[in-house]
């Protein structure tokens, strides 16, 4: 009996070791993408989910530097994955909505650490200053142009920011092609990426995007990692997870990275992670 127990324990340890090795192998060909919005203090009336204070953001960047992460653009990541290189410790940082603090705060910090960022801009909001829920400023074309000149990726977050899946279907084409034209006209370069407002997309949205050859990739709101399979088979459903400030500095970003790798690994093994996440969100809603 004792021998059987020892054999079982050794087998379990070997199995665990094998999974760990397999997981580490997976990380060599998987790139997570993290999603930020405003890098600033939370204005009154705003959801804290949309803001990471500058000091916390710098903690995140410091952590990525210390861990030896290579922080690159989405097009660069797609090239690396397609060339089947080892991409261990590579990450994509994305910023949605085009808030001016992305230029005044995030951009200089990214440069300080030698990192590149990806900024997804709402066409109708470029250069806008609104005073609805406090003053909100958005980046203008000259700021976006300068960031692009310094290697940052600029992409579309549609024209209106309304979710593409709930609007009248005849508005969808305009939401998709108009930023291509507008950004080219105002900045002189073609964008190649889109991030879906609220992460919402469906088959007809993807069919519409594929009509415009300038678009090469799109970000969904599904957690996980991007691999050769993702970028070749579903380039308009790239995986991405939000980073929020929970007041724990670098731990906040480390936790999201771990989640991306684990979800990506499970997905590669055929586990329906989309449903796990939906179930988890449901449980969070109903638990009190």
Q: Find the part of the chain contacting Zn ion (CB under 5 A) among 132-140, 163-171, 185-193, 196-204.
A: 196-204
Taking the complex as a whole, the smallest distance from the CB of residue 124 to Zn ion amounts, in Å, to 12
The C-alpha atoms of residue 189 and residue 187 are separated, in whole angstroms, by 6
Site residues for Zn ion, 230-249, by CB under 5 A, read none
3 state SS of 91: strand
For the bound state, the minimum distance from the C-beta of residue 238 to Zn ion, rounded and expressed in Å, comes to: 16
Question: 56 near 252, Cβ under 8 Å?
Answer: yes
**Which DSSP symbol is given to 224?**
S
> Which residues within the stretch 76-105 sit at the binding site for Zn ion (CB under 5 A)?
96-97
Closest approach of Zn ion to the CB of residue 206, in Å: 18
**Which token pair is 155?**
């992409």
Q: What are phi and psi of 129, to 5 degrees?
A: -125, 120
**Radius of gyration of the chain from its Cα atoms, rounded to whole angstroms:** 20
Token pair 């939370």 is found at: 42
Q: Is 252 in the site for Zn ion (CB under 5 A)?
A: no
Q: Of 102-110, 193-201, 219-227, 279-287, which part binds Zn ion (CB under 5 A)?
A: 193-201
If you search the block for the tokens 């449980």, which residue do you land on? 283
* Nearest residue (CB) to Zn ion, 128 versus 266: 128
| Contact between residue 70 and residue 89 where contact means Cβ atoms under 8 Å apart | yes
Is residue 175 part of the contact set for Zn ion (CB under 5 A)?
Answer: no
Give whichever of 97 and 208 is closer to Zn ion, judged by the CB atom: 97
Residues making contact with Zn ion (CB under 5 A):
96-97, 197
């Amino acid at each position: 009996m004792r021998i059987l127990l020892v054999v079982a324990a050794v087998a379990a340890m070997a199995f665990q070791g094998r999974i760990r090795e397999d997981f580490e192998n997976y990380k060599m060909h998987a790139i997570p993408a993290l999603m930020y919005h405003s890098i600033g203090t939370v204005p009154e009336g705003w959801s804290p989910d949309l803001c990471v204070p500058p000091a916390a953001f710098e903690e995140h960047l410091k952590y990525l530097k210390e861990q030896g992460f290579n922080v690159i653009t989405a097009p660069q990541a797609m090239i690396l994955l397609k060339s089947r290189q080892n991409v261990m410790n590579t990450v994509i940082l994305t910023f949605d909505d085009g808030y001016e603090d992305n230029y005044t705060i995030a951009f200089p910090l990214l440069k300080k650490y030698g990192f590149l960022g990806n900024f997804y801009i709402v066409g109708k909001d470029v250069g806008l200053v609104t005073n609805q829920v406090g003053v909100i400023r958005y980046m203008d074309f000259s700021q976006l142009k300068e960031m692009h000149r310094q290697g940052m990726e600029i992409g579309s977050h549609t024209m209106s920011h309304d979710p593409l899946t709930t609007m009248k279907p005849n508005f969808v084409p305009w939401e998709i092609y108009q930023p291509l034209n507008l950004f080219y006209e105002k900045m002189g370069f073609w964008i190649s990426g889109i991030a879906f407002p609220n992460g919402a997309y469906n088959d007809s949205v993807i069919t519409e995007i594929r009509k415009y050859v300038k678009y090469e990739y799109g970000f969904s709101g599904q957690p996980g990692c991007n691999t050769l399979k993702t970028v070749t088979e579903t380039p308009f459903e790239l995986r991405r997870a939000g980073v929020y400030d929970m007041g724990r500095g670098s731990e906040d970003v480390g936790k999201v990275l771990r989640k991306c790798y684990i979800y990506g690994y499970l997905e590669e093994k055929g586990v329906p992670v989309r449903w796990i996440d939906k179930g988890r969100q449901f449980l969070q809603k109903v638990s009190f």
